């Protein structure tokens, strides 16, 4: 298959190039010391924080929807009394 050194070099370069493309596709970079580290998208942290906030809001809404109306009325009155 590899009759001459040139074809072996081409095969090695091709394999290394494909590996680099796959690493980039799946978000893995190498630092200057050769250590692999995952890519961090700056929007990812913001979206995770927003998702957690939305989950908390949904939990509150679920609690409001499932609690008895008398408990909800007491909580609303308590909030009105604070102001």
CB 64 within 8 A of CB 56: no
Task: Count structural domains, the chain.
Answer: 2
Query: Parallel, antiparallel, or unpaired for β 36-38 and 28-30?
Result: antiparallel
Structural domain of 79: 40-83
SS3 string of 24-76?
A: HHCCEEECCCCCEEECCCHHHHHHHHHHHHHHHHHHHHHHHHHCCHHHHHHHH
Kindly report, residue by residue over 11-47, the tens digit of the pLDDT: 899 999 998 888 777 777 777 777 777 667 778 888 9
Whether residues 77 and 44 share a domain: the answer is yes
pTM above 0.85, yes or no: no
Whether residues 34 and 45 share a domain: the answer is no
Whether residues 27 and 60 share a domain: the answer is no
Whether residues 44 and 78 share a domain: the answer is yes
Residues 6 or more apart whose Cβ sits within 8 Å of residue 64: 72
Whether residues 16 and 44 share a domain: the answer is no
CA distance linking residue 28 with residue 40, whole number of Å = 9
- CA nearest to 64, candidates 53, 76, 51: 76
Mean pLDDT computed over every residue of the chain? 81
pLDDT value of residue 55: 94
Whether residues 68 and 49 share a domain: the answer is yes
């Amino acid at each position: 298959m590899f009759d001459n050194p040139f074809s072996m070099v081409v095969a090695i370069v091709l394999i290394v190039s494909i590996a680099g493309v796959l690493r980039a596709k799946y978000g893995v970079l190498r630092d200057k010391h050769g250590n692999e580290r995952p890519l961090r998208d700056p929007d990812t942290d913001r979206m995770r924080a927003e998702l957690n906030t939305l989950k908390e809001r949904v939990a509150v809404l679920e609690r409001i929807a499932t609690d008895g109306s008398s408990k909800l009325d007491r909580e609303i009155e308590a909030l009105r009394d604070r102001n």
